[in-house]
């Protein structure tokens, strides 16, 4: 968690840092701060959002042309002004921002205290900057050398940027397990947790690798060294990200913008990967390793949160069409339980951000055990994308709202293409079914546009149930993971307690909760289990629960039974999640807005979970 940004150049640093922090606020937003170097260090820190920090900045112009900034998601020490970053060395000479966790900070702190250091915050980060200071003054070291020596003794995860008031043109950054990108422009350097604060200034970037230290000194070339001090060749990449893509474009919230983008993002994910007329599917990642993939005995999907839900749909799709056994694992569980994984397994890691610590650890574990790792990732150049042997980008564009929406539908789209492609190659799917499904998939973007036209009705339903304190989501088959996803969306942004269940499981416990106060969202589209789900609806009604049903267009039977309904166009049963999830996203969105919640930045959450 946490977002870091740094600038050194000819312009005033402060506005650049503040703009960068706003772009990174999705990574954490409990406090923020900047340190500016103008002869000496000027540091401003504030609990709350970046706008709270802006409010305490002096009115007169801050002319410093070098500085660092941070937006925090607390791990060590509560969110307050003191624990906010940047943290300063004891002599006030150094300032440091950090994303990650220094695991052995307690022992380093104890030793430093014995040697006379005093600390003002409860953070692991302050320990690190004091440690660097001590090494620097004892050895009369250049900043980068003191940083390098300190990091040799640090355990844990970090992306850091450090500045030194006695080396006024220099930014030193380093990374291990937390992301850090360096932007290179003609007369300036940038560091940031991702490229979004950088792209409005330059499209030339270097993604630091684990164990690398970058020294950016004005007037000189960027230098990257390993912790072992060996200089690295610069791998400068050109980004094609468009700044328009990450701005709100007239919407009140990123979440609504991202929900509305889905017809386009799904189409973008399909582009060049399937063709209904010609009847083909293609994923470069699958082609690249086709020999190995054709002989896999099992697929393991590792992911967290919403990406785990799309993984569950992936399991249903791949088993149905390609007849390969699939296991879906919470990455956080997989990594800690000595799982049986080997060279005959394909591990699919699904992640929007490509930075989720548990998913990354699962990727590394799977690689160690000899499995082939396929990354399904949205953020281009992210750590999981680079750590995987092969993979496919979602091409959904930046997802800023903490609640994942468009990434989910893009993940399901890619998993459907993968399942169809594998099924065709393995001969487990008839030609007719293969062609029918490809054509149905191609129709999804236009069908989804029709779902999105029903916003007024969805808003009305949201108004009717906004005061609920609990909610139940039920679905069967391909729509069971959609029930889980609907419940997650509601609880994370509106703080209403919600549970998702396979509809048939309701009578094994949750039915006891149903009364007149319990809204029950049922995904009841046409398909194999239609009659069963109609019976489940009857069971809820008999206990006076309020039914909100997602139904197939024109289904008069459920219209009569439900208290409220939202229609979605008819598609192949296996593809219904791509349509049925969207009304649930919108319902959660409107309910959260009506309850006055901060939709894009819900409490206690962060977009990118880079801690374990
Ligand atoms: O970036 P990732 O897809 O790896 O993130 C996984 C989860 O942290 C994420 O899906 C989280 O559950 C979202 N807040 C859900 O909306």
Tens-digit pLDDT profile for residues 227-286: 999 999 999 999 876 776 667 777 999 999 999 999 999 999 998 899 988 999 999 989
User: Best of 178, 313, 335, 352 to mutate for ligand 1, by most ligand atoms within 8 A of CB?
Assistant: 352
Instruction: Note the pLDDT of residue 337.
Output: 87
- In terms of Cβ atoms closer than 10 Å to its own Cβ (0-12, 13-18, 19+), residue 166 is exposed
Confidence of residue 512 (pLDDT cuts 50, 70, 90): confident
Residue 248 tokens, joined: 């709100």
Same domain, 131 and 224: yes
Domain annotation covers residue 612: no
Left if phi > 0, otherwise alpha if psi is -120 to 50, otherwise beta: which for 523?
Answer: beta
Q: In this model, does residue 605 exceed pLDDT 90?
A: no
Same domain, 126 and 199: yes
Same domain, 222 and 272: no
Q: In this model, does residue 75 exceed pLDDT 80?
A: no
The pLDDT tens digits for 447-486 are 999 999 999 999 999 999 999 999 999 999 999 999 999 9
The pLDDT tens digits for 90-140 are 999 999 999 988 989 999 999 999 999 999 999 999 999 999 999 999 999
Same domain, 353 and 377: yes
Which atom of ligand 1 is the closest one to the Cα of 489? 16
Ligand 1 centre to CA of 356 (Å) is 8
Same domain, 367 and 334: yes
Instruction: Note the pLDDT of residue 6.
Output: 98
Same domain, 283 and 190: no
DSSP β-bridge partners for residue 377: 351, 393
Does the beta carbon of 359 lie inside 6 Å of ligand 1?
A: yes
Same domain, 409 and 491: no
DSSP 8-state symbol, 177:
B
Ligand 1 centre to CA of 157 (Å) is 19
Average pLDDT over residues 194-221: 95
Which atom of ligand 1 is the closest one to the Cα of 384? 4
Does the beta carbon of 304 lie inside 6 Å of ligand 1?
A: yes
Three-point CA angle 122, 128, 133, nearest 5°: 120
**CA-nearest residue, atom 8 of ligand 1:** 305
Domain annotation covers residue 282: yes
DSSP output for 56-123: HS-SS----SEEEEEEE--SSS-SSTTTSSPEE-TTS-EEEEEEEEETTHHHHHHHHHHTT---SSS-
Ligand 1 centre to CA of 308 (Å) is 8
Place of tokens 């009115």: 59
Does the beta carbon of 352 lie inside 6 Å of ligand 1?
A: yes
Q: Residues of the chain with pLDDT > 90: what percent?
A: 82
Ligand 1 centre to CA of 583 (Å) is 19
**Among this protein's residues, is 532 annotated catalytic?**
no
Instruction: Provide the strand spans (E) within 321-467.
Output: 326-330, 345-351, 372-377, 390-393
Average pLDDT over residues 384-409: 93
Ligand 1 centre to CA of 603 (Å) is 15
Does the beta carbon of 402 lie inside 6 Å of ligand 1?
A: yes
Instruction: Note the pLDDT of residue 1.
Output: 65
Does the beta carbon of 356 lie inside 6 Å of ligand 1?
A: yes
The H or E element containing residue 611 is: none
pTM of the full structure: 0.78
Does the beta carbon of 484 lie inside 6 Å of ligand 1?
A: no
Sheet of 326-330, strand order: 326-330, 298-303, 345-351, 372-377, 390-393
**Among this protein's residues, is 304 annotated catalytic?**
no
Ligand 1 centre to CA of 406 (Å) is 12
Same domain, 389 and 476: no
Instruction: Note the pLDDT of residue 610.
Output: 72
How many CB atoms lie under 10 A from the CB of residue 204? Answer: 16
Domain annotation covers residue 609: no
Q: How many contiguous H segments (helices) and E segments (strands) does the chain have?
A: 20, 26
Residue 100 tokens, joined: 């990650």
Domain annotation covers residue 151: yes
DSSP 8-state symbol, 218:
T
Q: In this model, does residue 26 exceed pLDDT 90?
A: no
Which atom of ligand 1 is the closest one to the Cα of 405? 16
Q: How many domains does the chain have?
A: 3
Confidence of residue 381 (pLDDT cuts 50, 70, 90): confident
The H or E element containing residue 352 is: none
CATH of the domain at 202: 3.60.20.10
Domain annotation covers residue 22: yes
Determine the structural domain holding residue 592 and report its residue range.
Answer: 449-604
CATH of the domain at 312: 3.40.50.10490
Same domain, 226 and 264: no
Least confident span in 52-56, 208-212, 555-559, 605-609: 605-609
Write phi, then psi, for 56 (nearest 5 degrees). Answer: -100, 0
Ligand 1 centre to CA of 493 (Å) is 13
Q: How far apart are CA 35 and CA 15, in angstroms?
A: 12
Q: How far apart are CA 593 and CA 386, in angstroms?
A: 37
442, 461, 482 - which closes a domain: 442
Does the beta carbon of 494 lie inside 6 Å of ligand 1?
A: no
Write phi, then psi, for 254 (nearest 5 degrees). Answer: -60, -35
Q: How far apart are CA 578 and CA 575, in angstroms?
A: 6
Preceding peptide of 86 cis, ω within 30°: yes
Does the beta carbon of 411 lie inside 6 Å of ligand 1?
A: no
Instruction: Note the pLDDT of residue 126.
Output: 97
Does the beta carbon of 332 lie inside 6 Å of ligand 1?
A: no
Same domain, 579 and 469: yes
Domain annotation covers residue 610: no
What's the whole-number average pLDDT of the chain?
A: 94
Same domain, 425 and 514: no
Does the beta carbon of 405 lie inside 6 Å of ligand 1?
A: no
Q: In this model, does residue 507 exceed pLDDT 90?
A: no
Write phi, then psi, for 605 (nearest 5 degrees). Answer: -105, 170
Place of tokens 């289904």: 555
Does the beta carbon of 346 lie inside 6 Å of ligand 1?
A: no
Q: How far apart are CA 109 and CA 124, in angstroms?
A: 8
Instruction: Note the pLDDT of residue 237.
Output: 93
Q: How far apart are CA 406 and CA 263, in angstroms?
A: 9
Ligand 1 centre to CA of 306 (Å) is 5
Ligand 1 centre to CA of 350 (Å) is 10
223, 245, 267 - which closes a domain: 245
Write phi, then psi, for 529 (nearest 5 degrees). Answer: -100, 20
**CA-nearest residue, atom 11 of ligand 1:** 305
Which atom of ligand 1 is the closest one to the Cα of 403? 16
442, 471, 487 - which closes a domain: 442
User: Best of 73, 309, 609, 612 to mutate for ligand 1, by most ligand atoms within 8 A of CB?
Assistant: 609
Does the beta carbon of 382 lie inside 6 Å of ligand 1?
A: no
Write phi, then psi, for 399 (nearest 5 degrees). Answer: -105, 115
Same domain, 301 and 407: yes
Average pLDDT over residues 37-61: 93
């Amino acid at each position: 968690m946490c977002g870091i940004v740094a600038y050194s150049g000819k312009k005033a640093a402060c506005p650049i840092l503040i703009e960068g922090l706003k772009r990174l606020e999705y990574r954490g937003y409990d406090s923020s701060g900047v340190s500016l170097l103008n002869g000496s260090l000027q540091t401003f820190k504030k609990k709350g959002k970046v706008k709270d920090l802006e409010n305490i900045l002096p009115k007169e112009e801050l002319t410093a042309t070098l500085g660092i900034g941070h937006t925090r998601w607390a791990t060590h020490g509560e969110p307050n002004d003191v624990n906010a970053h940047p943290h300063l060395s004891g002599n006030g000479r150094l300032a440091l921002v950090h994303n990650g966790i220094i695991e052995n900070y307690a022992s380093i702190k104890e030793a430093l205290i014995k040697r006379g250091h005093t600390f003002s915050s409860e953070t692991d980060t302050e320990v690190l900057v004091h440690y660097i200071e001590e090494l620097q003054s004892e050895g009369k070291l250049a900043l980068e050398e003191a940083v390098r020596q300190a990091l040799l003794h640090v355990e844990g995860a970090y992306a850091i940027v450090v500045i030194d008031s006695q080396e006024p043109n220099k930014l030193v950054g380093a990374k291990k397990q937390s992301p850090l990108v360096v932007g290179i422009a003609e007369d300036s350097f940038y560091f940031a947790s991702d490229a979004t604060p950088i792209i409005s200034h330059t499209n030339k970037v270097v993604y630091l690798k684990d164990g690398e230290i970058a020294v950016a000194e004005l007037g000189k070339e960027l230098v990257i060294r390993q912790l072992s001090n060996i200089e690295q060749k610069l791998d400068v990449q050109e980004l094609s990200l468009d700044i328009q893509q990450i701005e709100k474009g007239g919407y009140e919230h990123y979440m609504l913008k991202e929900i509305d983008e889905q017809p386009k993002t799904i189409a973008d994910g399909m582009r060049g990967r399937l063709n209904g007329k010609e009847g083909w599917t293609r994923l470069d990642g699958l082609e690249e390793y086709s020999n190995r993939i054709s002989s896999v005995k099992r697929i393991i999907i590792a992911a967290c949160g919403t990406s785990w839900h799309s993984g569950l749909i992936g399991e249903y799709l791949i088993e149905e069409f390609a007849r390969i056994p699939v296991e879906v694992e919470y990455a956080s569980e997989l990594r800690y339980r000595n799982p049986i994984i080997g060279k005959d397994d394909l591990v699919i890691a699904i992640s929007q951000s490509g930075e989720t610590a548990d998913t990354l650890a699962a990727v590394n574990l799977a690689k160690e055990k000899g499995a082939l790792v396929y990354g399904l990732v949205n953020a281009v150049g992210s750590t999981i994308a680079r750590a995987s042997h092969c993979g496919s980008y979602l091409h959904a564009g930046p997802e800023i709202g903490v609640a994942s929406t468009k990434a989910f539908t893009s993940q399901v789209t890619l998993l459907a293409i993968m399942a169809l492609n594998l099924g065709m190659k393995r001969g487990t799917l008839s030609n007719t079914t293969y062609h029918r499904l490809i054509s149905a998939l191609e129709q999804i973007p236009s069908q989804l546009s029709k779902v999105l036209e029903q916003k007024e009705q969805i808003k009305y339903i949201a108004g009717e149930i906004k005061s609920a304190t609990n909610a139940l989501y039920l679905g069967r088959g391909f729509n069971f993971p959609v029930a889980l996803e609907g419940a997650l969306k509601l609880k994370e942004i509106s703080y209403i307690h919600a549970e998702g269940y396979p509809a048939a499981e309701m009578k094994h416990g949750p039915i006891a909760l149903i009364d007149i106060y319990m809204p029950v969202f049922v995904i009841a589209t046409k398909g194999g289990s239609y009659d069963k789900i109609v019976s489940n609806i009857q069971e809820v009604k008999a206990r006076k629960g309020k039914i909100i049903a997602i139904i197939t267009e024109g289904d008069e039977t459920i219209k009569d039974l439900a208290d409220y309904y939202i229609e979605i166009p008819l598609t192949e049963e296996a593809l219904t999640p791509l349509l049925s999830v969207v009304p649930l996203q919108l319902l959660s969105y409107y309910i959260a807005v009506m309850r006055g919640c901060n939709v894009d930045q819900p409490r206690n959450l962060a977009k990118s979970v880079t801690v374990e």
